[in-house]
Amino acid sequence: MIFDWATVVPGLLSTDIPGLDTPQSSCPGDFVDLKSLNASISTGFSIIRVCHQWRALALPILYRCVIVDSGKAGQSLSRTLLASKDGSETPLHTPLGARVRHLVLSLSVASELMTAGSGLVPWEFQHLAEIAACLPSLTILSVTINLSSYVACTPYYGAAFSRALSATCGGSLRKLHLAGASEVLFAPGTHRDLLNAFPRLRIAIGDGAGGCPAAWPALPELGFITVTTALGACHDYAHSGAALPALRCALFRACSPYHPLESWIHFLELHGPRLEVVYLDLRTSMHKVCVCVGVMKAYCPNLKQLKVFVKEVEEGTLVNGLPCGGAKLSVSADLPVPDQGRDDLVSESNHAKAATDNV
């Protein structure tokens, strides 16, 4: 127990549906806190160096979540997992890869020029397939990829990784979090096949790399999904309201200031009546809060809880003054509003209340 407490990162291994039973204080679309994770891993390595007994007790805990943030880290993890896998499996020896529950990939692409058209894969991505093939019990995959400003055309390095992931982790994966330029590993054209390989998926968080979520294949256990404004118009006709029977919660994210809300409405027309808990992430949006709340009010008749994440608004003013049927409405702000702006917010809240009543 002491080793658990020493290395704990809240929510790191959770596959619970965000907010279905208890309110979620942070935005469920936010990526893993890499600073806290690295601190936890550092603490874990310090613990296993104390003595052989502590190493035996703490090593399984240390490998519950692993991170690849460089080519060197990927190579090292691959060697460790393969060496452990090649050892004889006995009741007293479980391969380290079988203990991994959460794989975090935080990588960068500096330039695609060295690999464009060559079929070559940069060092940072070379060992990912080997790693995935060692993870039969993986339940959570979190991926964020940063593209340098020098990258003119997004490359694709995920063919071998996707195959290994589908073959090894298809029956165990419960949560998929794709952020940044995740299409480097999960090209839009391959996303549907990838989802088909994860029939037990419960939570899907992303920034639109998977295309229109209303056109996703049948995922009978999916209870949480992300819908972004970056999707734009949908030209896929393979829509089925029965594809996501367990869906109850969703995050609607405005990815840039002026993207229209048509992708939200397109999804809500099909699945809105199922939703009981909705998160609105408006931290990078110029859309009026009252309009976004009004959309949820209009398309989600069974909504019980609506939480809005904004960048600069004081709790209890603008958002909390809006009516939302029988749903509980709450707000979370990144930055508080200065004292001199409070009167303006109260006035705007009154105007917003009148506007949403007419939606």
Q: How far apart are CA 342 and CA 330, in angstroms?
A: 18
Query: Does the residue 207 lie in any domain?
Result: no
The whole-number average pLDDT for the span 117-134 is 88
User: DSSP 3-state assignment of 5?
Assistant: helix
pLDDT recorded at residue 342: 46
pLDDT surpassing 70 at residue 22 = no
Query: Does the residue 35 lie in any domain?
Result: no
Query: Does the residue 230 lie in any domain?
Result: no
For residues 124 and 74, the answer to whether their CB atoms sit within 8 Å is yes
Say if residue 105 is exposed, middle or buried (CB neighbours under 10 Å; 0-12, 13-18, 19+): buried
User: DSSP 3-state assignment of 2?
Assistant: helix
Query: Does the residue 199 lie in any domain?
Result: no
pLDDT surpassing 90 at residue 78 = yes
Query: Does the residue 222 lie in any domain?
Result: no
Query: Does the residue 212 lie in any domain?
Result: no
| pTM metric for this prediction | 0.86
Q: Which residue from 195, 133, 190 is spatially nearest to 167, judged by alpha carbons?
A: 133
Which residues are paired to 284 by β-bridges?
none
Q: Which of 10-19, 52-61, 74-83 is predicted with the least confidence, judged by mean pLDDT?
A: 52-61
Please give the residue that has the higher pLDDT: either 329 or 167. Answer: 167
The whole-number average pLDDT for the span 42-69 is 82
The whole-number average pLDDT for the span 222-250 is 83
pLDDT recorded at residue 316: 41
Query: Does the residue 273 lie in any domain?
Result: yes
Q: How confident is the model at residue 53 (pLDDT cuts 50, 70, 90)?
A: confident
Please give the residue that has the higher pLDDT: either 6 or 19. Answer: 19
Average per-residue pLDDT in the chain?
A: 82
Tell me the residue range of the domain where 313 lies: 237-359
Q: How far apart are CA 90 and CA 58, in angstroms?
A: 19
pLDDT surpassing 50 at residue 345 = no
pLDDT recorded at residue 25: 73
Q: Which of 23-27, 145-149, 260-264 is predicted with the least confidence, judged by mean pLDDT?
A: 23-27
pLDDT surpassing 70 at residue 298 = yes
The highest-confidence range among 53-67, 139-153, 180-194, 307-321, by mean pLDDT, is 139-153
- How many domains does the chain contain in total? 1
User: What would the pLDDT profile of 264-297 be if each residue is shown by its tens digit?
Assistant: 998 999 999 999 999 999 888 777 888 888 999 9
For residues 215 and 233, the answer to whether their CB atoms sit within 8 Å is no
Residues 6 or more apart whose CB falls under 8 angstroms from that of 284 comprise 254, 255, 256, 257, 311
User: DSSP 3-state assignment of 330?
Assistant: strand
Query: Does the residue 295 lie in any domain?
Result: yes
